[in-house]
Amino acid sequence: MQNELKKQATVQIPLGRLHRFPGHPYKVEDNEEMEALAESIREQGILTPLLVRRMEGSETDYELISGHRRAYAAAKAGLETVPAFVVSLDRNEAAIALVDSNLHRERLLPSEKAFAYKLKAEALYHQGKRSNLTSAQFAPKLATEQIAEDVGTCKDTIKR
């Protein structure tokens, strides 16, 4: 997806047309860090475009995949539009991208990680990522192993 984004131009999207991803597991807090981000956006603009997908059945509304904090800070900074990459992802692909784009953050609450892992496991399950396993009862185990591999931790940590 990174190569796809490098080739794609950003579009300006009105903040009122952005909608939170259902089940978004990360908190967007209005604290000192948010104020610093808003101030940076006032001075320099948004340096990294948001990642969005079109909402089903709409030509003008978008679901926010990556950039919830930047969108909030942009609103605080008084911006009316934000730069974004519009990608064609189904809900499961978008959920995986959302989780993967946020797990690198330094300060994630254990509850945020847990909800993120659950969201990704469900998306992987719905995509049918079960390799040669034929029974649906084994899908959560495989999703857990895949997530553990992706984040570089043991599968028992993911299960907990």
The residue with tokens 């967007």 is 28
Structural domain spans, the chain: 1-88, 108-160
**What CA–CA distance (Å, rounded) separates 15 from 146?**
34
pTM: 0.64
Angstrom distances, CA of residue 67 to CA of 29, 63, 136: 13, 11, 33
Contact (CB, 8 A) for 123 and 150 = no
The pLDDT of residue 145 is above 60: yes
**What CA–CA distance (Å, rounded) separates 47 from 113?**
26
CATH class, 1-88 region: alpha beta
Give tens-digit pLDDT for 12-68. Answer: 999 999 999 887 777 788 999 899 999 999 999 999 999 999 998 898 999 999 899
Phi (first) and psi of residue 50, to 5 degrees: -75, 165
Give tens-digit pLDDT for 55-112. Answer: 988 989 999 998 998 999 999 999 999 999 999 998 888 887 887 776 555 565 565 6
Sign of the torsion angle spanned by Cα atoms 60, 61, 67, 69: positive
The pLDDT of residue 132 is above 60: no
